[in-house]
Chains A and B, each alone.
Chain A
Amino acid sequence: MISRRWAIPALSALVVVLWLLSIAVGRVTLSWDVWQAQDTISRVILLELRLPRAILGVLVGASLGLAGAAMQGYLRNALAEPGTLGVSAMAALGAVLSIFFNIAGLHPWVLPICGVIGGMTAMAALFILSGMAASVLTLVLSGIILSALAIAGISLALSLSPSPWASQEIVRWMLGGLTDRSFDELTIAAPLIVVGCIAVLGCRRALDALTLGESGARSLGIDLNRAQWQLAFGIGLIVGGSTAVTGVIGFVGLIVPHLMRPLVGSRPGALLVPSAIGGAALVLAGDIVVRLLPGGSELELGVVMSLIGAPFFFVLLHSMRRKLT
Protein backbone atom coordinates (compact mmCIF):
# COMPACT_ATOMS: atom_id res chain seq x y z
CA MET A 1 0.00 0.00 0.00
CA ILE A 2 1.37 3.41 -0.96
CA SER A 3 -0.16 5.22 1.99
CA ARG A 4 1.69 2.91 4.41
CA ARG A 5 5.06 3.73 2.97
CA TRP A 6 4.40 7.45 3.18
CA ALA A 7 2.70 7.51 6.57
CA ILE A 8 5.88 7.73 8.66
CA PRO A 9 7.69 10.35 6.55
CA ALA A 10 4.51 12.45 6.31
CA LEU A 11 3.85 12.25 10.05
CA SER A 12 7.47 13.07 10.82
CA ALA A 13 7.28 16.12 8.58
CA LEU A 14 4.11 17.16 10.40
CA VAL A 15 5.91 16.89 13.74
CA VAL A 16 8.77 19.06 12.48
CA VAL A 17 6.34 21.73 11.25
CA LEU A 18 4.37 21.67 14.50
CA TRP A 19 7.58 21.77 16.50
CA LEU A 20 8.74 24.92 14.69
CA LEU A 21 5.28 26.44 15.10
CA SER A 22 5.35 25.57 18.78
CA ILE A 23 8.55 27.58 19.11
CA ALA A 24 7.27 30.55 17.10
CA VAL A 25 3.72 30.85 18.41
CA GLY A 26 2.62 32.33 21.72
CA ARG A 27 1.83 35.58 23.42
CA VAL A 28 4.99 36.88 21.76
CA THR A 29 5.51 35.72 18.20
CA LEU A 30 9.11 34.94 17.46
CA SER A 31 10.52 35.46 13.98
CA TRP A 32 12.71 32.95 12.17
CA ASP A 33 15.91 34.89 12.80
CA VAL A 34 15.48 34.68 16.58
CA TRP A 35 18.36 32.18 16.67
CA GLN A 36 20.81 34.95 15.95
CA ALA A 37 18.85 37.61 17.86
CA GLN A 38 20.84 39.89 20.10
CA ASP A 39 17.99 41.21 22.18
CA THR A 40 17.80 39.27 25.39
CA ILE A 41 14.03 39.07 25.77
CA SER A 42 13.60 37.03 22.61
CA ARG A 43 16.51 34.81 23.60
CA VAL A 44 15.09 34.19 27.03
CA ILE A 45 11.68 33.35 25.59
CA LEU A 46 13.29 31.00 23.10
CA LEU A 47 15.74 29.21 25.37
CA GLU A 48 13.95 29.23 28.70
CA LEU A 49 10.32 28.95 27.69
CA ARG A 50 9.65 27.80 24.14
CA LEU A 51 12.47 25.33 23.57
CA PRO A 52 11.95 23.18 26.69
CA ARG A 53 8.23 23.33 26.13
CA ALA A 54 8.47 22.15 22.52
CA ILE A 55 10.95 19.39 23.34
CA LEU A 56 8.84 18.25 26.27
CA GLY A 57 5.79 18.23 24.01
CA VAL A 58 7.49 15.85 21.58
CA LEU A 59 8.82 13.64 24.36
CA VAL A 60 5.61 13.39 26.34
CA GLY A 61 3.36 13.08 23.29
CA ALA A 62 5.51 10.41 21.65
CA SER A 63 5.86 8.33 24.79
CA LEU A 64 2.15 8.53 25.68
CA GLY A 65 1.21 7.54 22.11
CA LEU A 66 3.63 4.63 22.33
CA ALA A 67 2.33 3.58 25.75
CA GLY A 68 -1.27 3.63 24.50
CA ALA A 69 -0.47 1.54 21.43
CA ALA A 70 1.46 -0.97 23.55
CA MET A 71 -1.31 -1.29 26.15
CA GLN A 72 -3.92 -1.80 23.44
CA GLY A 73 -1.74 -4.44 21.81
CA TYR A 74 -0.99 -6.29 25.01
CA LEU A 75 -4.52 -6.27 26.35
CA ARG A 76 -5.94 -6.82 22.84
CA ASN A 77 -8.35 -4.09 23.63
CA ALA A 78 -8.81 -0.90 21.65
CA LEU A 79 -10.07 1.03 24.69
CA ALA A 80 -6.95 0.56 26.79
CA GLU A 81 -4.81 3.59 27.54
CA PRO A 82 -2.81 4.87 30.55
CA GLY A 83 -5.27 7.74 31.09
CA THR A 84 -8.55 5.86 30.82
CA LEU A 85 -7.30 2.93 32.92
CA GLY A 86 -6.10 5.06 35.81
CA VAL A 87 -2.36 4.63 35.30
CA SER A 88 -1.81 8.37 34.81
CA ALA A 89 -3.95 9.16 37.86
CA MET A 90 -1.94 6.73 39.98
CA ALA A 91 1.29 8.32 38.75
CA ALA A 92 -0.12 11.71 39.71
CA LEU A 93 -1.04 10.30 43.12
CA GLY A 94 2.57 9.17 43.56
CA ALA A 95 3.83 12.64 42.69
CA VAL A 96 1.22 14.34 44.89
CA LEU A 97 2.07 12.15 47.88
CA SER A 98 5.70 13.14 47.58
CA ILE A 99 4.64 16.79 47.85
CA PHE A 100 2.19 16.06 50.65
CA PHE A 101 4.74 14.25 52.78
CA ASN A 102 7.19 16.99 52.09
CA ILE A 103 9.83 14.73 50.62
CA ALA A 104 9.73 16.19 47.11
CA GLY A 105 12.09 18.96 48.15
CA LEU A 106 14.80 16.57 49.31
CA HIS A 107 16.08 15.90 45.81
CA PRO A 108 14.83 16.77 42.30
CA TRP A 109 14.48 13.05 41.56
CA VAL A 110 12.15 12.25 44.45
CA LEU A 111 8.96 13.49 42.82
CA PRO A 112 9.44 11.79 39.43
CA ILE A 113 10.49 8.54 41.12
CA CYS A 114 7.32 8.63 43.22
CA GLY A 115 5.35 9.20 40.00
CA VAL A 116 7.05 6.20 38.40
CA ILE A 117 6.28 4.04 41.42
CA GLY A 118 2.62 5.11 41.17
CA GLY A 119 2.52 4.29 37.45
CA MET A 120 4.20 0.91 37.84
CA THR A 121 1.95 -0.01 40.75
CA ALA A 122 -1.07 0.80 38.59
CA MET A 123 0.22 -1.32 35.68
CA ALA A 124 0.92 -4.27 37.98
CA ALA A 125 -2.48 -3.90 39.60
CA LEU A 126 -4.18 -3.76 36.19
CA PHE A 127 -2.49 -6.94 35.02
CA ILE A 128 -3.26 -8.72 38.26
CA LEU A 129 -6.87 -7.48 38.48
CA SER A 130 -7.79 -8.14 34.89
CA GLY A 131 -5.59 -11.16 34.20
CA MET A 132 -4.39 -12.21 30.78
CA ALA A 133 -7.68 -12.92 29.09
CA ALA A 134 -9.15 -9.61 30.19
CA SER A 135 -12.63 -8.84 28.96
CA VAL A 136 -13.49 -5.22 28.27
CA LEU A 137 -15.64 -5.26 31.36
CA THR A 138 -12.99 -6.42 33.86
CA LEU A 139 -10.47 -4.10 32.29
CA VAL A 140 -12.65 -1.00 32.44
CA LEU A 141 -13.77 -1.87 35.96
CA SER A 142 -10.13 -2.28 37.02
CA GLY A 143 -9.46 1.14 35.51
CA ILE A 144 -12.38 2.65 37.41
CA ILE A 145 -11.08 1.18 40.67
CA LEU A 146 -7.60 2.60 40.10
CA SER A 147 -8.89 6.01 39.01
CA ALA A 148 -11.23 6.24 41.99
CA LEU A 149 -8.46 5.28 44.36
CA ALA A 150 -6.06 7.81 42.85
CA ILE A 151 -8.58 10.64 42.80
CA ALA A 152 -9.62 9.92 46.38
CA GLY A 153 -5.98 9.94 47.45
CA ILE A 154 -5.26 13.18 45.61
CA SER A 155 -8.38 14.84 47.04
CA LEU A 156 -7.43 13.70 50.51
CA ALA A 157 -3.95 15.13 50.09
CA LEU A 158 -5.51 18.35 48.81
CA SER A 159 -7.85 18.84 51.74
CA LEU A 160 -5.27 17.88 54.33
CA SER A 161 -2.49 19.74 52.59
CA PRO A 162 -0.16 21.49 55.00
CA SER A 163 0.39 24.68 53.02
CA PRO A 164 -1.30 26.70 50.26
CA TRP A 165 1.82 26.19 48.18
CA ALA A 166 1.39 22.43 48.36
CA SER A 167 -2.25 22.54 47.37
CA GLN A 168 -1.43 24.79 44.44
CA GLU A 169 1.20 22.33 43.27
CA ILE A 170 -1.23 19.45 43.64
CA VAL A 171 -3.88 21.19 41.54
CA ARG A 172 -1.27 21.77 38.86
CA TRP A 173 -0.70 18.00 38.60
CA MET A 174 -4.35 17.26 38.22
CA LEU A 175 -4.71 19.65 35.29
CA GLY A 176 -1.61 18.80 33.32
CA GLY A 177 0.20 21.06 30.89
CA LEU A 178 3.45 22.10 29.32
CA THR A 179 3.40 25.72 30.47
CA ASP A 180 6.50 27.11 32.16
CA ARG A 181 8.44 23.87 32.24
CA SER A 182 12.19 24.35 32.27
CA PHE A 183 15.20 22.42 31.05
CA ASP A 184 15.70 21.21 34.62
CA GLU A 185 12.41 19.39 34.54
CA LEU A 186 13.13 18.14 31.05
CA THR A 187 16.44 16.60 32.06
CA ILE A 188 14.72 14.68 34.84
CA ALA A 189 11.85 13.37 32.75
CA ALA A 190 13.81 12.57 29.58
CA PRO A 191 15.95 9.66 30.85
CA LEU A 192 12.95 8.00 32.52
CA ILE A 193 10.83 8.35 29.40
CA VAL A 194 13.57 7.23 27.01
CA VAL A 195 14.35 4.08 29.05
CA GLY A 196 10.61 3.38 29.25
CA CYS A 197 10.24 3.72 25.48
CA ILE A 198 13.14 1.31 24.87
CA ALA A 199 11.57 -1.25 27.21
CA VAL A 200 8.22 -0.94 25.46
CA LEU A 201 9.71 -1.15 21.96
CA GLY A 202 11.49 -4.32 23.04
CA CYS A 203 8.09 -5.99 23.40
CA ARG A 204 6.96 -5.42 19.84
CA ARG A 205 7.33 -9.03 18.73
CA ALA A 206 5.40 -10.23 21.77
CA LEU A 207 2.66 -7.73 20.90
CA ASP A 208 2.59 -8.98 17.29
CA ALA A 209 2.34 -12.58 18.44
CA LEU A 210 -0.53 -11.71 20.79
CA THR A 211 -2.63 -11.05 17.69
CA LEU A 212 -3.08 -14.85 17.82
CA GLY A 213 -4.17 -14.78 21.46
CA GLU A 214 -2.38 -16.02 24.53
CA SER A 215 -1.82 -19.65 23.54
CA GLY A 216 -1.01 -18.62 19.97
CA ALA A 217 1.68 -16.25 21.20
CA ARG A 218 3.15 -18.72 23.66
CA SER A 219 3.28 -21.47 21.07
CA LEU A 220 5.34 -19.09 18.92
CA GLY A 221 7.95 -19.10 21.68
CA ILE A 222 6.98 -15.80 23.32
CA ASP A 223 7.58 -15.47 27.05
CA LEU A 224 4.42 -13.60 27.98
CA ASN A 225 5.32 -13.34 31.62
CA ARG A 226 8.45 -11.43 30.76
CA ALA A 227 6.63 -9.27 28.22
CA GLN A 228 4.04 -8.38 30.83
CA TRP A 229 6.56 -7.15 33.39
CA GLN A 230 8.70 -5.44 30.80
CA LEU A 231 5.61 -3.51 29.66
CA ALA A 232 4.59 -2.68 33.22
CA PHE A 233 8.12 -1.39 33.83
CA GLY A 234 8.31 0.56 30.55
CA ILE A 235 4.84 2.08 30.67
CA GLY A 236 5.29 2.84 34.39
CA LEU A 237 8.47 4.78 33.56
CA ILE A 238 6.85 6.62 30.65
CA VAL A 239 3.67 7.60 32.47
CA GLY A 240 5.41 8.27 35.78
CA GLY A 241 8.15 10.34 34.17
CA SER A 242 5.85 12.40 32.00
CA THR A 243 3.16 12.87 34.65
CA ALA A 244 5.76 14.05 37.16
CA VAL A 245 6.66 16.91 34.85
CA THR A 246 3.48 17.68 32.94
CA GLY A 247 0.71 16.32 35.13
CA VAL A 248 -2.08 14.15 33.79
CA ILE A 249 -2.47 14.43 30.03
CA GLY A 250 -5.03 11.81 29.14
CA PHE A 251 -6.44 10.33 25.96
CA VAL A 252 -3.29 10.72 23.83
CA GLY A 253 -2.67 6.99 23.99
CA LEU A 254 -6.30 6.27 23.22
CA ILE A 255 -6.79 8.58 20.25
CA VAL A 256 -3.51 8.17 18.40
CA PRO A 257 -3.44 4.39 17.79
CA HIS A 258 -6.95 4.65 16.37
CA LEU A 259 -5.92 7.35 13.95
CA MET A 260 -2.82 5.36 12.95
CA ARG A 261 -4.46 1.99 12.22
CA PRO A 262 -6.06 3.07 8.93
CA LEU A 263 -2.69 4.53 7.87
CA VAL A 264 -0.24 1.78 8.81
CA GLY A 265 -2.36 -1.31 9.50
CA SER A 266 -3.34 -3.01 12.73
CA ARG A 267 -0.27 -5.15 13.48
CA PRO A 268 0.47 -4.06 17.08
CA GLY A 269 4.25 -4.04 16.73
CA ALA A 270 4.11 -1.99 13.55
CA LEU A 271 1.78 0.48 15.25
CA LEU A 272 4.22 1.51 17.99
CA VAL A 273 6.52 3.92 16.15
CA PRO A 274 3.75 5.62 14.11
CA SER A 275 1.75 6.05 17.34
CA ALA A 276 4.76 7.70 18.95
CA ILE A 277 5.13 10.12 16.04
CA GLY A 278 1.40 10.75 15.96
CA GLY A 279 1.34 11.32 19.72
CA ALA A 280 4.06 13.94 19.41
CA ALA A 281 2.05 15.69 16.69
CA LEU A 282 -1.16 15.60 18.72
CA VAL A 283 0.39 17.01 21.91
CA LEU A 284 2.29 19.72 20.01
CA ALA A 285 -0.88 20.68 18.15
CA GLY A 286 -2.89 20.70 21.37
CA ASP A 287 -0.29 22.85 23.09
CA ILE A 288 -0.31 25.34 20.19
CA VAL A 289 -4.10 25.52 20.33
CA VAL A 290 -3.91 26.17 24.08
CA ARG A 291 -1.71 29.21 23.42
CA LEU A 292 -3.83 30.57 20.61
CA LEU A 293 -7.14 30.42 22.47
CA PRO A 294 -8.36 33.89 23.42
CA GLY A 295 -8.57 34.76 27.10
CA GLY A 296 -6.47 36.09 29.89
CA SER A 297 -4.75 32.93 31.04
CA GLU A 298 -3.87 29.79 29.18
CA LEU A 299 -6.09 26.77 29.37
CA GLU A 300 -4.12 23.75 30.59
CA LEU A 301 -3.25 21.17 27.94
CA GLY A 302 -4.61 18.30 30.02
CA VAL A 303 -8.01 19.97 30.02
CA VAL A 304 -7.97 20.43 26.24
CA MET A 305 -6.97 16.80 25.68
CA SER A 306 -9.83 15.62 27.87
CA LEU A 307 -12.24 17.93 26.04
CA ILE A 308 -11.21 16.32 22.74
CA GLY A 309 -10.62 12.84 24.16
CA ALA A 310 -13.84 12.26 26.06
CA PRO A 311 -16.15 12.68 23.04
CA PHE A 312 -13.72 10.59 20.97
CA PHE A 313 -13.92 7.86 23.59
CA PHE A 314 -17.68 8.10 23.51
CA VAL A 315 -17.82 7.69 19.72
CA LEU A 316 -15.39 4.78 19.92
CA LEU A 317 -17.44 3.07 22.58
CA HIS A 318 -20.57 3.63 20.54
CA SER A 319 -19.03 2.06 17.43
CA MET A 320 -17.76 -0.90 19.48
CA ARG A 321 -21.03 -1.38 21.31
CA ARG A 322 -22.03 -4.42 19.30
CA LYS A 323 -18.75 -6.17 19.97
CA LEU A 324 -18.90 -5.45 23.69
CA THR A 325 -22.19 -7.09 24.50
Chain B
Amino acid sequence: MTRPSTLKISGLQFRRGSRVVLDAIDLQLQSGAITAVLGPNGAGKSTLLSCIVGLLRPERGAVELDGTSLYSMAAMQRARHIAFLPQTPEIAWAVDVQTLVGLGRIPFHGLSSDEEDRAAVARAMAKTEVTQWSDRTVTTLSGGERARVLLARVLAGESDWILADEPFTGLDPSHQFEAAELLRAAADQGGGVVLTIHDLTLAARIADRVVIINGGRIVADGPPREALAPQILRDVYNIDARWIDGADGTPPTIAIHGRASRS
Protein backbone atom coordinates (compact mmCIF):
# COMPACT_ATOMS: atom_id res chain seq x y z
CA MET B 1 0.00 0.00 0.00
CA THR B 2 2.58 2.54 1.10
CA ARG B 3 5.99 3.04 -0.47
CA PRO B 4 9.04 2.46 1.73
CA SER B 5 9.91 5.55 3.67
CA THR B 6 12.69 6.65 5.99
CA LEU B 7 12.69 9.12 8.85
CA LYS B 8 16.20 10.22 9.64
CA ILE B 9 16.83 12.06 12.86
CA SER B 10 20.30 13.46 13.30
CA GLY B 11 21.94 15.39 16.10
CA LEU B 12 18.65 16.36 17.66
CA GLN B 13 18.95 18.55 20.71
CA PHE B 14 16.07 20.08 22.63
CA ARG B 15 16.24 22.27 25.69
CA ARG B 16 13.53 23.43 28.08
CA GLY B 17 15.00 26.41 29.85
CA SER B 18 18.42 25.30 30.93
CA ARG B 19 17.45 21.62 31.09
CA VAL B 20 18.57 19.51 28.16
CA VAL B 21 15.60 17.25 27.37
CA LEU B 22 17.04 15.60 24.26
CA ASP B 23 20.74 15.45 23.60
CA ALA B 24 22.31 14.44 20.29
CA ILE B 25 19.66 11.94 19.20
CA ASP B 26 20.56 10.04 16.03
CA LEU B 27 17.97 7.62 14.78
CA GLN B 28 17.02 6.19 11.44
CA LEU B 29 13.49 4.81 11.29
CA GLN B 30 12.17 2.56 8.52
CA SER B 31 8.56 2.19 7.50
CA GLY B 32 6.92 -1.22 7.54
CA ALA B 33 7.78 -1.74 11.19
CA ILE B 34 6.67 -0.77 14.66
CA THR B 35 9.29 1.12 16.63
CA ALA B 36 8.57 1.43 20.34
CA VAL B 37 10.24 4.23 22.29
CA LEU B 38 10.61 3.45 25.98
CA GLY B 39 12.17 5.13 28.95
CA PRO B 40 11.42 6.39 32.44
CA ASN B 41 9.07 9.30 33.03
CA GLY B 42 10.65 12.54 31.91
CA ALA B 43 13.18 10.74 29.72
CA GLY B 44 12.20 12.79 26.67
CA LYS B 45 10.01 10.28 24.79
CA SER B 46 7.10 12.66 24.19
CA THR B 47 9.48 15.49 23.34
CA LEU B 48 11.15 13.29 20.74
CA LEU B 49 7.81 12.45 19.15
CA SER B 50 6.74 16.10 19.22
CA CYS B 51 9.98 17.09 17.47
CA ILE B 52 9.45 14.47 14.78
CA VAL B 53 5.85 15.57 14.23
CA GLY B 54 6.91 19.21 14.10
CA LEU B 55 4.98 20.36 17.18
CA LEU B 56 8.26 21.36 18.78
CA ARG B 57 11.23 22.83 16.99
CA PRO B 58 14.53 21.44 18.30
CA GLU B 59 17.34 23.75 19.13
CA ARG B 60 19.76 21.79 16.98
CA GLY B 61 19.62 18.85 14.61
CA ALA B 62 17.45 17.77 11.73
CA VAL B 63 14.60 15.44 10.93
CA GLU B 64 14.46 14.30 7.34
CA LEU B 65 11.65 12.44 5.65
CA ASP B 66 13.07 10.59 2.65
CA GLY B 67 15.80 13.17 2.32
CA THR B 68 13.62 16.27 2.76
CA SER B 69 13.94 18.33 5.91
CA LEU B 70 10.68 18.22 7.86
CA TYR B 71 11.20 21.70 9.20
CA SER B 72 11.38 23.23 5.74
CA MET B 73 8.19 21.45 4.71
CA ALA B 74 4.81 23.22 4.83
CA ALA B 75 2.87 22.11 7.90
CA MET B 76 0.02 20.70 5.81
CA GLN B 77 2.41 18.69 3.67
CA ARG B 78 4.11 17.30 6.75
CA ALA B 79 0.71 16.41 8.17
CA ARG B 80 -0.13 14.41 5.04
CA HIS B 81 2.95 12.25 5.60
CA ILE B 82 2.91 11.95 9.37
CA ALA B 83 -0.21 11.48 11.47
CA PHE B 84 0.02 12.04 15.20
CA LEU B 85 -2.02 10.68 18.07
CA PRO B 86 -1.32 12.91 21.08
CA GLN B 87 -1.10 11.64 24.62
CA THR B 88 -4.43 12.19 26.40
CA PRO B 89 -6.23 13.30 23.24
CA GLU B 90 -8.79 16.02 23.67
CA ILE B 91 -12.24 16.10 22.11
CA ALA B 92 -13.62 19.58 22.68
CA TRP B 93 -17.09 19.26 21.17
CA ALA B 94 -19.80 16.61 21.12
CA VAL B 95 -19.42 15.84 17.42
CA ASP B 96 -20.55 12.57 15.87
CA VAL B 97 -18.07 9.77 15.22
CA GLN B 98 -18.07 10.22 11.46
CA THR B 99 -17.27 13.93 11.78
CA LEU B 100 -14.45 13.26 14.22
CA VAL B 101 -12.83 10.66 11.97
CA GLY B 102 -13.26 13.09 9.06
CA LEU B 103 -11.01 15.61 10.84
CA GLY B 104 -8.13 13.34 9.84
CA ARG B 105 -8.71 14.50 6.26
CA ILE B 106 -8.06 18.19 6.99
CA PRO B 107 -4.49 18.15 5.56
CA PHE B 108 -5.90 16.93 2.24
CA HIS B 109 -8.24 19.85 1.80
CA GLY B 110 -8.20 20.96 -1.83
CA LEU B 111 -6.15 17.96 -2.87
CA SER B 112 -8.67 15.15 -2.60
CA SER B 113 -12.30 15.12 -3.67
CA ASP B 114 -15.18 14.78 -1.24
CA GLU B 115 -15.71 11.21 -2.46
CA GLU B 116 -12.07 10.33 -1.82
CA ASP B 117 -12.34 11.83 1.66
CA ARG B 118 -15.53 9.93 2.38
CA ALA B 119 -13.99 6.70 1.11
CA ALA B 120 -10.87 7.16 3.26
CA VAL B 121 -13.04 7.87 6.32
CA ALA B 122 -15.15 4.78 5.57
CA ARG B 123 -12.03 2.61 5.22
CA ALA B 124 -10.58 3.89 8.49
CA MET B 125 -13.88 3.31 10.28
CA ALA B 126 -14.16 -0.20 8.85
CA LYS B 127 -10.61 -1.08 9.92
CA THR B 128 -11.22 0.05 13.47
CA GLU B 129 -14.74 -1.41 13.45
CA VAL B 130 -16.45 1.79 14.47
CA THR B 131 -18.73 2.05 11.42
CA GLN B 132 -21.78 1.09 13.46
CA TRP B 133 -21.32 4.21 15.60
CA SER B 134 -21.12 6.66 12.66
CA ASP B 135 -23.93 8.87 13.88
CA ARG B 136 -23.30 8.50 17.58
CA THR B 137 -21.93 11.42 19.52
CA VAL B 138 -18.39 10.83 20.77
CA THR B 139 -19.36 11.88 24.29
CA THR B 140 -21.67 8.85 24.54
CA LEU B 141 -18.82 6.40 23.88
CA SER B 142 -16.84 4.56 26.54
CA GLY B 143 -13.12 5.20 26.93
CA GLY B 144 -12.16 2.16 24.87
CA GLU B 145 -14.63 2.99 22.13
CA ARG B 146 -13.37 6.53 22.02
CA ALA B 147 -9.77 5.33 21.70
CA ARG B 148 -10.78 3.28 18.66
CA VAL B 149 -12.49 6.30 17.11
CA LEU B 150 -9.42 8.46 17.71
CA LEU B 151 -7.29 5.80 16.07
CA ALA B 152 -9.69 5.81 13.12
CA ARG B 153 -9.16 9.57 12.89
CA VAL B 154 -5.40 8.98 12.61
CA LEU B 155 -5.85 6.21 10.02
CA ALA B 156 -8.19 8.38 7.93
CA GLY B 157 -5.18 10.43 6.81
CA GLU B 158 -3.71 7.27 5.24
CA SER B 159 -0.30 8.74 5.92
CA ASP B 160 3.03 6.96 5.51
CA TRP B 161 3.77 7.38 9.20
CA ILE B 162 1.76 7.13 12.39
CA LEU B 163 3.28 8.51 15.56
CA ALA B 164 1.37 7.72 18.72
CA ASP B 165 2.21 9.02 22.17
CA GLU B 166 1.20 6.36 24.68
CA PRO B 167 -1.70 5.02 22.65
CA PHE B 168 -2.45 2.22 25.13
CA THR B 169 -2.66 4.24 28.32
CA GLY B 170 -6.06 4.00 29.93
CA LEU B 171 -7.18 1.02 27.86
CA ASP B 172 -8.09 -2.32 29.35
CA PRO B 173 -5.93 -5.30 28.25
CA SER B 174 -8.35 -6.38 25.57
CA HIS B 175 -8.56 -2.92 24.02
CA GLN B 176 -4.78 -2.60 24.30
CA PHE B 177 -4.36 -5.68 22.14
CA GLU B 178 -7.01 -4.47 19.76
CA ALA B 179 -5.25 -1.12 19.30
CA ALA B 180 -1.91 -2.89 18.99
CA GLU B 181 -3.30 -5.13 16.25
CA LEU B 182 -4.53 -2.10 14.30
CA LEU B 183 -1.09 -0.50 14.48
CA ARG B 184 0.45 -3.85 13.52
CA ALA B 185 -1.80 -3.99 10.46
CA ALA B 186 -0.75 -0.46 9.47
CA ALA B 187 2.92 -1.47 9.71
CA ASP B 188 2.33 -4.72 7.80
CA GLN B 189 0.80 -2.71 4.98
CA GLY B 190 4.03 -0.76 4.69
CA GLY B 191 3.33 2.16 7.01
CA GLY B 192 5.78 3.34 9.62
CA VAL B 193 4.61 3.23 13.23
CA VAL B 194 6.43 4.90 16.11
CA LEU B 195 4.91 4.80 19.55
CA THR B 196 5.85 5.49 23.13
CA ILE B 197 4.83 2.90 25.67
CA HIS B 198 5.42 2.01 29.32
CA ASP B 199 4.27 -1.63 29.34
CA LEU B 200 7.42 -3.72 28.84
CA THR B 201 5.62 -6.93 27.90
CA LEU B 202 3.35 -5.24 25.40
CA ALA B 203 6.38 -3.50 23.89
CA ALA B 204 8.23 -6.81 23.65
CA ARG B 205 5.28 -8.39 21.89
CA ILE B 206 4.31 -5.76 19.36
CA ALA B 207 7.49 -3.88 18.53
CA ASP B 208 9.93 -4.84 15.81
CA ARG B 209 12.44 -2.45 17.23
CA VAL B 210 12.81 -0.90 20.65
CA VAL B 211 14.57 2.37 21.35
CA ILE B 212 15.24 3.20 24.99
CA ILE B 213 15.82 6.79 26.00
CA ASN B 214 17.16 7.85 29.35
CA GLY B 215 18.16 11.34 30.34
CA GLY B 216 17.61 12.60 26.79
CA ARG B 217 19.98 10.06 25.20
CA ILE B 218 19.47 6.77 23.43
CA VAL B 219 20.80 4.06 25.69
CA ALA B 220 19.60 1.00 23.78
CA ASP B 221 18.35 0.37 20.29
CA GLY B 222 17.56 -2.96 18.69
CA PRO B 223 15.14 -5.87 18.57
CA PRO B 224 13.09 -6.23 21.78
CA ARG B 225 15.24 -9.14 23.04
CA GLU B 226 18.37 -7.00 22.96
CA ALA B 227 17.05 -3.59 23.88
CA LEU B 228 14.91 -4.89 26.73
CA ALA B 229 17.55 -7.23 28.12
CA PRO B 230 17.47 -7.55 31.93
CA GLN B 231 20.76 -5.69 32.36
CA ILE B 232 19.46 -2.69 30.39
CA LEU B 233 16.18 -2.64 32.30
CA ARG B 234 18.18 -2.70 35.50
CA ASP B 235 20.30 0.26 34.42
CA VAL B 236 17.44 2.32 33.05
CA TYR B 237 14.53 1.60 35.36
CA ASN B 238 16.41 0.27 38.37
CA ILE B 239 14.28 -2.91 38.35
CA ASP B 240 14.92 -6.64 38.46
CA ALA B 241 13.16 -8.14 35.48
CA ARG B 242 13.51 -11.20 33.32
CA TRP B 243 12.05 -12.65 30.19
CA ILE B 244 9.74 -15.63 30.52
CA ASP B 245 9.23 -17.47 27.27
CA GLY B 246 5.74 -18.67 26.67
CA ALA B 247 5.22 -22.36 26.26
CA ASP B 248 4.23 -23.76 22.83
CA GLY B 249 5.04 -20.56 20.94
CA THR B 250 2.93 -18.17 23.03
CA PRO B 251 4.59 -14.78 23.21
CA PRO B 252 7.09 -13.99 25.94
CA THR B 253 6.39 -12.01 29.08
CA ILE B 254 8.70 -9.66 30.95
CA ALA B 255 8.26 -10.35 34.62
CA ILE B 256 9.25 -7.59 37.03
CA HIS B 257 10.39 -8.90 40.39
CA GLY B 258 10.89 -5.59 42.09
CA ARG B 259 13.26 -2.71 42.44
CA ALA B 260 16.84 -3.65 41.92
CA SER B 261 19.00 -3.81 44.99
CA ARG B 262 21.75 -1.28 44.59
CA SER B 263 25.12 -2.93 44.60
Contact = CB atoms under 8 A, between A and B. Distances in A.
Interface of A: 1, 76, 205, 208-216, 218-223, 265-268
Interface residues of B, number: 32
Contacts of A221: 74-80, 106-107
Interface stretch (B9-17, B61-69, B87-95, B227-235): B87-95
A209 B95 CA distance: 12
Interface string B96-128: 100110011011010000000000000000000
A210 B86 contact: no
Contacts of B168: none
Given A221-B79, A265-B96, 14 more contacts: A76-B90, A76-B92, A212-B103, A213-B86, A214-B90, A215-B50, A216-B90, A219-B55, A219-B79, A219-B83, A221-B75, A221-B76, A222-B106, A265-B99
Contact of B89 (A212, A265, A267, A268): A212
A309 to B, nearest CB: 22
Contacts of A267: 93, 95, 99
A222 B75 contact: yes
Contacts of A214: 90
B36 interface: no
B77 to A, nearest CB: 7
Contacts of B82: 219
Contacts of A216: 84, 86, 89-90
A197 B7 CA distance: 41
A208 B106 contact: yes
B100 A211 contact: yes
A216 B165 CA distance: 12
Contact of A212 (B76, B91, B109): B91
A269 to B, nearest CB: 10
Contacts of A222: 75, 106
17 contacts: A1-B135, A76-B90, A205-B106, A211-B95, A211-B100, A212-B86, A212-B90, A212-B92, A212-B153, A213-B89, A213-B91, A215-B86, A216-B90, A220-B106, A266-B93, A266-B95, A267-B93
A220 B109 CA distance: 11
B53 interface: yes
Q: Which 7 A-B pairs have the closest CB atoms?
A: A213-B90, A221-B79, A219-B84, A221-B76, A76-B92, A266-B93, A221-B75
B133 to A, nearest CB: 15
Nearest to B107: A221
B93 A76 contact: yes
Contacts of A205: 106, 109
Nearest to A78: B93
A209 B16 CA distance: 27
Contacts of A266: 93-95
A219 B83 CA distance: 7
